[in-house]
Chain A
Amino acid sequence: MKRWTLLWPAVIILSALVAGLVNFVIPGAAGQPIIVMWFLFVCPGMVLVRFFRLSEPVSEWTLAIALSLAIDAIVAGIQMYAGLWSPQATLAILIGFCLVGAIAQIAQLEIQKIKRRTHGSSQYRVS
């Protein structure tokens, strides 16, 4: 169970780092569009959805895609209307958001693990 709960935070962290790599370090690398689109269309939403504990793959994926698109557009839109249009900065904000969210999720899992050990209860188990 532990292994699966850590899967998404790991995927999100990895995706964020690779998206940053192909944009800021080696722009124009092969696979940049696929990596970036995967990150932008799934990760910002999934990092939120994992906190909701929905435990239903179809619902999670659906919500993750919709929220990702909304978050991407709203962050980029705010920057544009503020006269600060910069796709690279928007991407950096989203990478930061995902990293913070994923790390918070890992921390939450660790706290729950400690609580379970302390109380010997399974009521905090995260699916």
Chain B
Amino acid sequence: MASHPTPPAPPRRRARRWRRRLTAVALVAAVAYLARAPLLRTGGAVLVSDDGLAPATRVAVLDGDRRFEVAAALVTAGRADGVLIVQGAPARTVLVGLRPSPEDVGRAELSRRGVPHARVEVIPGRARSVWDWARQFGGWLAGHPDATVLVLADRFGSRRDRLVLRRVLASDQFARVRVAALPHREYAEADWWRVKGGGLAFGYGTLDLGYAWLAGEGDPPAEPRSPDELEGVTRD
């Protein structure tokens, strides 16, 4: 049977339909505005995956506000035997000798807070992403089958970090790892939208988690240009 073309709705019915749609949009917007605090709090909470300061034989410093302070406090309180620092690829300002490497800064910070040098272990490598970090860390875990590790992470990066650790580490290694989502001094899940730093951390955390979830690691980070290459980059 041939289908007949749909007759256009009379103008009054079309107007009613649009009025209904606009009213629904306005209602949703009003409810979202009135419930903005719980909605934004929930958004923040999605990014956080926190085991708290669970007991472990080692503390691994990945990221997070006051990370060395927390690591030192755990060791000096006898809640961990030592600290792990995963070595990263040196930044250009480190290469040209303008500042110490993050590993040296970490050692100095821990020492200043009462952690003996012997209790700090640097896992060598050139990590340029959290995926590299997890692989270097996995190598260490493979050589220390009895160790349990508490990873100190940035609060709004913690769910992404846990996802990466789960994907990179063998299951028996991942079972020995806990993640502490360190609180930030300027914002938390409950109020991140009130300060610029919180908004940026939420935005970046959401994009990082989304990418890791959907695309995994993606293309590995490229080898950075040397200082001389970068100086001459505008030449052409």
- A and B: interacting chains: no
